[in-house]
Amino acid sequence: MSFTTLPASITAPQGFRAAGVVCGIKRLGTGKGSNKGPKRDLALLVSDLPAAVAGMFTTNQVAAAPVKLSIPRARQAFARAVVMNSGNANACTGAAGMRDAREMTKLVADQLDLTERSVLVCSTGRIGVPMPMPRIKRGILAAAAHLAASPENGHQVAEAIMTSDTRPKEIAVELVLAKQRVRIAGVAKGAGMIQPGMSLSGVRPAARPLHATMLAVLTSDAAVESRALKSSLAEAVANSFNRITVDGDMSTNDTVILLANGMARNPVLTLNPSSRPLLRKFQEALNHVALELAKMIVRDGEGISRFVTVRVSGARNFTDADAAARAVANSALVKTSWCGGDPNWGRILDALGYSQARVNEEKVDIAYSPPGSSQRIYAVQGGRPARTPFRRLCAAVAAPEFDLHIGLNLGKAKAVVYTCDLTEAYVDFNKGDIGNPSALGG
């Protein structure tokens, strides 16, 4: 790999300051999610210089106000700041919600002497509840007053966006581009309502189903031209956040924002052929950052006990490979069998059979392996039970992390989906929360 891992903090790249504060949104909720974890619930991230910006947003038709506001701002060439909150998704809040989202960015702009349009916003938490703007205003003022480039302040951001997450999710890497040290860092949150399907425009790219709230904010001090940055983020998200599913529910608030402020002084990365080798190196590091954060989201999925990488190969085309992998990854019966450590390949074949992918039972191979291993412990070969002793299959599935290899043997297309089991703890966590007149989720 052409990059090294640094101590994680979103402020690791040069020229970024951040702060996360307690403003009391979470305290308003009596939801299970809102009582877990740290109490910080508002964060601010600022680039000292105008940064090239890119954003990917939920394709849910019921998109939250902060998503609607941030989409056009992420289409701009540059931005300066991102304000984030947990505890309230500002989703299904109508015109008032749009005013509140805009007000949040205006408050930040006023405090930091920026233009309103250079500030993006993301929210996560309860759906359908008005934003508690007096608290949020106090929070923004406090965050703006405490901005710093310290790792501590970076960690505050990772904490402030948590909802049902049990731990913060952060990463930072460093690479060298034409002798200049360049850093990329990120924070993310997830836990439930996780099957993102994001696009640059928030518009679904195809008639194909795409299906959390997950938020991620990435920073870099690389010098990257805006169009190249948008293209790089789209590739990174396509292979990471858009490849995960906890429960198959796509959120109203999914957002990934990347700011790159150029302070590393590398030669500016563009889409020109001459820039390709350096852009590729940047892309590899960005892909790594996005994939590691995406996997952290699945590993911290609500109530999970197993992390499973579903690898489909031999499909006729990518659409089929993706459909097959998602049918298996989202099957209630497959997910519950993993919870019990049961190598129930019958349910896997069943899910493949009802997927939208072309499947020929007699050609299907199903095998397990340790994560990333080239070993294959076959459960099914050519549609028929393999001769593997049952206790070996059980041992493969008993591991907290394993790969499931599905060979359709009908073509050359592949797809990977990162997922988890379905447990009683998931049901218990999500089975409602009477006495809380709200709707945790976005």
Instruction: Compare residues 98 and 149 and give the one whose CB is closer to a copy of itself.
Output: 98
- Count of beta carbons in the 10 Å neighbourhood of residue 435: 7
Q: Nearest distance from residue 380's CB to a copy of itself, in Å?
A: 8
Catalytic residue among 59, 105, 163, 213: 213
In the complex with a copy of itself, which residue's Cβ is closer, 38 or 385? 385
User: CA-CA distance, 46 to 144, in Å (whole number)?
Assistant: 9
- Report residue 256: phi and psi, to 5°: -125, 125
CA distance 178 to 158: 31
Q: Give the nearest distance from C-beta 159 to a copy of itself in angstroms.
A: 24
Q: Nearest 5°: CA angle at 101, between 87 and 98?
A: 115
What gap in Å lies between CA 438 and CA 128, rounded to an integer? 7
Nearest distance in Å: CB 89, a copy of itself: 8
Q: d(Cα 403, Cα 399) in Å, to the nearest integer?
A: 10
| Distance set, CA 292 to CA 36, 288, 289 (Å) | 23, 6, 5
Rg (CA), the chain: 22
| Residues 6+ away with beta carbon under 8 Å from 75 | 200, 201
Instruction: Tell me the CB-side half-sphere exposure of residue 7, using CA atoms within 13 A.
Output: 6
Beta carbon of residue 314, minimum distance to a copy of itself (angstroms, whole number) = 15
Nearest approach, Cβ of residue 230 and a copy of itself (Å):
24
**Alpha carbon distance 140, 138 (integer Å):** 6
Question: Exposed, middle or buried by CB within 10 Å (0-12, 13-18, 19+), for 360?
Answer: exposed
Closer of 33 and 186 to a copy of itself (Cβ): 33
Min separation Cβ 36 and a copy of itself, Å: 17
Give SS3 for 118. Answer: helix
Whether residue 19 contacts residue 153, with contact meaning beta carbons closer than 8 Å, is answered with yes
Classify strands 215-220 and 255-260 as parallel, antiparallel or unpaired: parallel
Q: How far is the CB of 382 from a copy of itself (least distance, A)?
A: 9
Q: Is 252 in the active site?
A: no
Provide the 8-state DSSP code for 363.
Answer: G
Rank residues 152 and 361 by Cβ distance to a copy of itself and give the closer one. Answer: 361
Nearer to a copy of itself, 19 or 256 (CB): 256
CB 174 within 8 A of CB 182: yes
The structure tokens 């250079």 sit at 118
CA–CA dist 390, 360 (Å, integer) = 24
Q: How far is CA 132 from the centre of its chain?
A: 26
By annotation, the residues acting in catalysis are 213
